[in-house]
């Protein structure tokens, strides 16, 4: 994991966590931490995080595991000694990639900014806990802060309001925020509602389409929905499989054990991961069926 954000977080939180939670509202604290995180990661105030999964795994070097769990579970932050990771359910509301992004961002708020004593082993979040009310109304300080961190990390409120006001009506304004920043309807409406100091009735917000656009689906679900071969279990797909397959010190049989697949599947997995062109074209064809594609040798 990239140490800059984590070291900065620990240095600030270890000695001041108890004091700060007494004098700073949880939602404001979460917003401040989101601003610090975005700055450390090089994101501008109006810039969307176009691939949160990739940012977590590649930039921060945080293990991100996708799991198929009962639909009420959202995600979990796992700490084993100094090692930390994130597990996210793909069922229930998280089947929507924009909702899943909010879950990952919420867990990232725990992982980056909770002091070690708050992450002794495992923190599990359910959808009821995460979405029952906006951060400003939550009574659990840590969870309210993580919720506020998540939405401000993904959709900074000042530019979200600017986008919202750029459209002629509320529905198109909310949808513009959703599509630009890759956030769910629930996240977008609460962010705008709070940013406008609740001057608009919450129940007046509505959209006819809550589904992510094809580009957001492709980026966030590439290692899950579009991973080949499909025989590899969900939790072993993506970067984990890539490391296993490309290891020169792990035998083919051990690779099969690590990926929980039979040897025939490992053979196909090696061919696909080392030569992904066919998979990429298959994905593009599914996302944009009206277009034609060709391979240019280089």
- pLDDT tens per residue, range 152-165: 999 999 999 999 99
pLDDT beyond 50 at 106: yes
Res 222: pLDDT: 76
Tell me which residue of 276, 212, 211, 181 sits closest to 238, measured CA to CA: 276
pLDDT in tens, 180-208: 999 999 999 999 999 999 999 999 999 99
Res 160: pLDDT: 97
pTM metric for this prediction: 0.75
Grouping H, G, I as helix, E, B as strand and the rest as coil, residue 54 is helix
Q: C-alpha 290: how far from its chain's center?
A: 30
Res 162: pLDDT: 97
pLDDT beyond 80 at 83: no
Q: C-alpha 188: how far from its chain's center?
A: 15
Tell me which residue of 36, 12, 3, 187 sits closest to 114, measured CA to CA: 12
What are the domain boundaries of the chain?
3-158, 226-287
CB 99 within 8 A of CB 131: no
Which two tokens mark 287? 């996302």
Tell me which residue of 225, 242, 243 sits closest to 234, measured CA to CA: 225
Which two tokens mark 238? 């993506």
Which neighbouring-strand residues pair with 64? 86
Of the chain, the percentage scoring pLDDT greater than 70 comes to 63
Res 24: pLDDT: 83
Res 279: pLDDT: 42
Res 278: pLDDT: 45
């Amino acid at each position: 994991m990239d140490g800059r954000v984590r070291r900065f977080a620990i240095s600030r939180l270890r000695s001041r966590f108890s004091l700060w939670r007494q004098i700073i509202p949880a939602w404001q604290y979460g917003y401040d931490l989101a601003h610090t995180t975005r700055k450390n990661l090089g994101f501008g105030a109006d810039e969307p995080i176009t691939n949160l999964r990739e940012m977590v795994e590649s930039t921060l070097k945080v293990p991100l595991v996708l799991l198929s769990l009962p639909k009420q579970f959202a995600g979990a932050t796992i700490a084993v000694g100094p090692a930390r990771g994130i597990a996210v359910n793909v069922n229930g509301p998280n089947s929507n990639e924009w909702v899943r992004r909010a879950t990952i961002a919420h867990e990232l708020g725990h992982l980056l900014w909770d002091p070690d004593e708050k992450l002794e082993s495992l923190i599990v979040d359910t959808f009821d806990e995460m979405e029952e009310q906006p951060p400003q109304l939550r009574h659990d300080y840590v969870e309210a802060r993580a919720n506020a961190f998540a939405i401000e990390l993904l959709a900074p409120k000042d530019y979200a309001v600017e986008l919202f006001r750029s459209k002629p009506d509320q529905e198109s304004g909310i949808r513009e925020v959703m599509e630009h920043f890759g956030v769910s309807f629930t996240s977008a409406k609460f962010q705008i509602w709070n940013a406008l100091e609740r001057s608009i009735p919450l129940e007046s917000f509505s959209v006819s389409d809550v589904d992510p656009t094809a580009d957001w689906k492709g980026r966030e679900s590439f290692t899950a929905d579009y991973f080949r071969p499909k025989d590899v279990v969900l939790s072993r797909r993506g970067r984990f499989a890539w490391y296993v397959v490309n290891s020169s010190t792990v035998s083919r049989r051990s690779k099969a054990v690590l990926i929980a697949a039979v040897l025939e599947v490992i053979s196909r997995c090696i061919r696909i991961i080392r030569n992904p062109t066919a998979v990429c074209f298959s994905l593009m064809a599914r996302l944009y069926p009206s277009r034609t594609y060709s391979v240019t040798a280089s």
